[in-house]
């Protein structure tokens, strides 16, 4: 029974529709057009008319806004619309905000979407005209130009402090690639990865090589959130939002997290505290995880932050096939940002929904619980989904 307050969020709403475009290095249509296609596909999947939509949620570093989507696809009057900051940290928060809106009676049918042509469009770090003074003035003039450089700096310190190795990072890359090799929608569907390929590939920002970096993708996705009661009337098996959290730690600095007491902890730790506080189960009960993978090291960091292992144990956790199907924690079962598509983590949400519907291309038998995270290293968000 839904009610106001944080306890009222638990299982009170469900994802009832998901939709997406193709994923490719280059798609011909505009981001706006792709957004419309994904949104309409999600609503069709839900069996809900666009005219019934009264809530929207999206996140920043996106060109398409609420007005454009609404007038193109023909939404009704909107009574809730939210835009979450910090790009890839906001993916899961879109569902959290929609769930909150539905539970508190601000809306009844919510749509969250992401549309980006990051594959065919310019790399944001090449724009020298528009840079925020902070933290850029402390990093970019010295040649720390890209997120890959910023995360690589933390990665080397991580490897040093914990004795983790490139093989631990490779384990992450391999698991995502193996799942992509099972997923016809994945950009890397027909491109297997070997250890030799990984260890001999070119550096992007040493210690991160090519395969430690996510794809560059054109694509769009969307999902539909309604109350648990309404979900019973939709055509797909409901996937409930069991718990949701955002996280911005004290003295956080974004990806250039070099300036606080404990740089190897980040937003995942903060989001996790709230996420688990309001959940009926624990990390041990999670059947499958969709963990934001812009870079391979974000996965061991997230494993630590979300409580699957202790500090510094994230690398060792990946050993012995733990992240593969049949392992302790199957990871990014559609291929993730590393091998399916990089659309700032939204495809992790849709894959989580598929797992709990039983329709994944790499189905974890009997999957009942799924953790989905947004980006570690930036103000972040996370979801626990269940069926």
Q: By CB under 8 A, is residue 378 in contact with other proteins? A: no
Q: By CB under 8 A, is residue 256 in contact with other proteins? A: yes
Tell me which residue has tokens 């560059």.
Answer: 216
State the first-to-last Cα distance of the chain, in angstroms, to the nearest integer: 16
Tell me which residue has tokens 């109350």.
Answer: 227
CB of 276 to other proteins, least distance (A): 27
Q: Which stretch binds other proteins (CB under 8 A): 142-150, 193-201, 238-246, 378-386?
A: 142-150
258 has catalytic annotation: no
Q: By CB under 8 A, is residue 157 in contact with other proteins? A: yes
Q: How many chain residues touch other proteins (CB under 8 A)?
A: 40
Largest distance between two CA atoms of the chain: 57
Dihedral sign computed on CA atoms, order 97, 280, 290, 205: positive
Catalytic residue among 158, 162, 306, 342: 342
Q: Which is nearer to other proteins, 123 or 311 (CB)?
A: 123
CB of 8 to other proteins, least distance (A): 34
- Residues numbered 306-345 forming contacts with other proteins, rule: CB under 8 A: none
Q: By CB under 8 A, is residue 203 in contact with other proteins? A: yes
Q: Which is nearer to other proteins, 1 or 132 (CB)?
A: 132
Q: Which is nearer to other proteins, 127 or 284 (CB)?
A: 127
Q: Which is nearer to other proteins, 189 or 258 (CB)?
A: 258
CB of 45 to other proteins, least distance (A): 38
CB of 203 to other proteins, least distance (A): 5
* H-helix or E-strand spanning residue 34: helix 31-46
158 has catalytic annotation: no
Kindly tell me the burial class for residue 144, based on how many C-beta atoms sit within 10 Å of its own C-beta (0-12, 13-18, 19 or more).
buried
Edge-first strand order for the sheet with 380-386 is 80-84, 55-59, 109-117, 218-227, 13-20, 239-247, 380-386, 369-373, 288-290
Q: Which stretch binds other proteins (CB under 8 A): 45-53, 154-162, 276-284, 295-303?
A: 154-162
Q: By CB under 8 A, is residue 214 in contact with other proteins? A: no
Catalytic residue among 198, 240, 292, 306: 292
Tokens of 274: 């709230």
Q: By CB under 8 A, is residue 160 in contact with other proteins? A: yes
Dihedral sign computed on CA atoms, order 360, 23, 169, 200: positive
CB of 244 to other proteins, least distance (A): 28
DSSP summary character for residue 51 = G
Nearest CA to 339 out of 359, 326, 327, 323 is that of 323
Q: By CB under 8 A, is residue 197 in contact with other proteins? A: no
Q: Count the Cβ atoms, other than its own, within 10 Å of residue 213.
A: 24
> How far apart (Å, rounded) are the C-alpha atoms in residues 99 and 245?
11
Q: Which stretch binds other proteins (CB under 8 A): 14-22, 113-121, 180-188, 250-258?
A: 250-258
| Position among 202, 284, 326, 366 found at the interface with other proteins (CB under 8 A) | 202
CB of 141 to other proteins, least distance (A): 5
What CA–CA distances, in Å, run from 356 to 28, 47, 233, 359? 32, 19, 18, 8
- The backbone region for 328, taken as left when phi is positive above 0, alpha when psi lies in -120 to 50, beta otherwise, is alpha
What phi and psi values does residue 31 have, to the nearest 5 degrees?
-60, -40
- Residues numbered 112-141 forming contacts with other proteins, rule: CB under 8 A: 123, 126, 128, 131-141
**Beta strand 55-59 pairing with 80-84:** parallel
Q: By CB under 8 A, is residue 57 in contact with other proteins? A: no
Tokens of 11: 């299982």
Give the binding site for other proteins (CB under 8 A).
123, 126, 128, 131-146, 148-149, 152-154, 156-157, 160, 202-207, 251, 253, 256, 258-261
Q: Which residues are catalytic?
A: 292, 342
């Amino acid at each position: 029974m839904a009610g106001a307050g944080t306890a009222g969020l638990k299982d009170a709403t469900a994802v009832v529709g998901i939709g997406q475009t193709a994923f490719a290095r280059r798609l011909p249509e505009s981001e706006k057009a792709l957004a419309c296609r994904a949104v309409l596909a999600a609503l069709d999947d839900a069996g809900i008319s666009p005219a019934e939509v009264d809530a929207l949620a999206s996140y920043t570093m996106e060109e398409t806004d609420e007005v454009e989507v609404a007038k193109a696809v023909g939404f009704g009057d909107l009574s809730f619309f939210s835009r979450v900051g910090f790009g890839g940290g906001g993916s899961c928060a879109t569902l959290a905000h929609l769930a909150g809106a539905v539970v508190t009676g601000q809306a009844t049918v919510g749509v969250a979407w992401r549309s980006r042509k990051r594959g065919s469009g310019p790399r944001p770090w090449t724009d020298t005209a528009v840079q925020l003074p902070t933290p850029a003035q402390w990093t970019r003039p010295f040649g720390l130009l890209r997120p890959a450089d910023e995360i690589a700096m933390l990665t080397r310190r991580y490897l040093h402090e914990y004795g983790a190795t490139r093989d631990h990072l490779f384990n992450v890359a391999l698991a995502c690639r193996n799942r992509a090799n099972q997923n016809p929608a994945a950009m890397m569907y027909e491109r297997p990865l070997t250890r030799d390929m990984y260890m001999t590939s070119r550096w992007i920002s040493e210690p991160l090589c090519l395969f430690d970096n996510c794809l560059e993708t054109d694509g769009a996705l969307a999902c539909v959130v309604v109350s648990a009661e309404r979900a019973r009337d939709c055509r797909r098996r409901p996937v409930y939002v069991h718990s949701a959290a955002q996280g911005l730690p004290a003295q956080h600095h974004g990806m250039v997290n070099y300036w606080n007491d404990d740089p190897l902890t980040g937003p995942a730790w903060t989001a996790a505290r709230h996420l688990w506080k309001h959940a009926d189960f624990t990390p041990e009960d999670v059947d499958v995880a969709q963990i934001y993978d812009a870079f391979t090291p974000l996965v061991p960091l997230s494993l630590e932050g979300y409580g699957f292992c202790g500090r510094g144990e994230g690398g060792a956790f990946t050993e012995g096939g733990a992240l593969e199907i049949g392992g302790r924690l199957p990871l990014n079962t559609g291929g993730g940002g590393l091998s399916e598509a990089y659309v700032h983590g939204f495809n992790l949400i849709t894959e989580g929904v598929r797992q709990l519907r039983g329709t994944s291309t790499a189905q974890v038998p009997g999957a009942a619980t799924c953790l989905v995270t947004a980006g570690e290293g930036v103000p972040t968000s996370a979801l626990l989904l269940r069926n």
